[in-house]
Amino acid sequence: MLGLIKGNAPIPRKDDKKLPFKVKQMYKLVDSMLLPERISQFIDEREEYVLLAALSCRRDHRIKGLASLLFSRIESTTQAKGYKSILFVSASAYVHQIAAKQGYRAITNIPCDEYVDPLTGIRVFANMPTPHNTISLFAKHL
């Protein structure tokens, strides 16, 4: 998890200078998705929510229901801690399908070929293989 966020506060981070470059790129992507104008219809600025950094399974463990189990565990932990919403960003069409089955809703989307990484100026998702064509911010109220 990236952390617990209140409203449109910046994502809490450790010293950015020590973070690996790919992690910095991920933070920039998440920042671009969490703009108030993108999420205000779903998240109240006073609401605290959980923001997930990534959801991933090793290739040899896929299609065994592990992602669904991870979502269930994350949701129960989130509820136990008193938070009411979960948000996460994904560029995987497969994760998009699993998220929809778990009741998550894409609240904002960016076509992969349009996203320009602000650190490099490169369209880092331009050559994503089919069916991965959209970067989405997903949300679910618990």
Q: Is the pLDDT of residue 15 over 70?
A: no
Does this model's pTM top 0.85? My answer is no
| Number of domains present in the structure of the chain | 1
Average pLDDT for 16-41: 83
Of all residues in the chain, what percent are helix, strand and coil, respectively (each to 5)? 35, 20, 45
Q: How confident is the model at residue 112 (pLDDT cuts 50, 70, 90)?
A: very high
Q: Is the pLDDT of residue 127 over 50?
A: yes
The vertex-27 CA angle with 21 and 30, nearest 5°, equals 145
- CATH code (residue 43): 3.40.630.30
Q: Is the pLDDT of residue 67 over 90?
A: no
Interatomic CA distance for residues 26 and 12, integer angstroms: 13
Average pLDDT for 74-86: 90
Comparing 72 with 62, the larger pLDDT belongs to 72
Q: Which of 18-22, 36-40, 43-47, 91-95 has the highest mean predicted lDDT (pLDDT)?
A: 91-95
- On whether the CB atoms of residues 125 and 138 are closer than 8 A, the answer is no
36 cis-preceded (ω within 30 degrees of 0): no
Domain membership of residue 35 as a residue range: 3-141
Average pLDDT for 71-93: 89
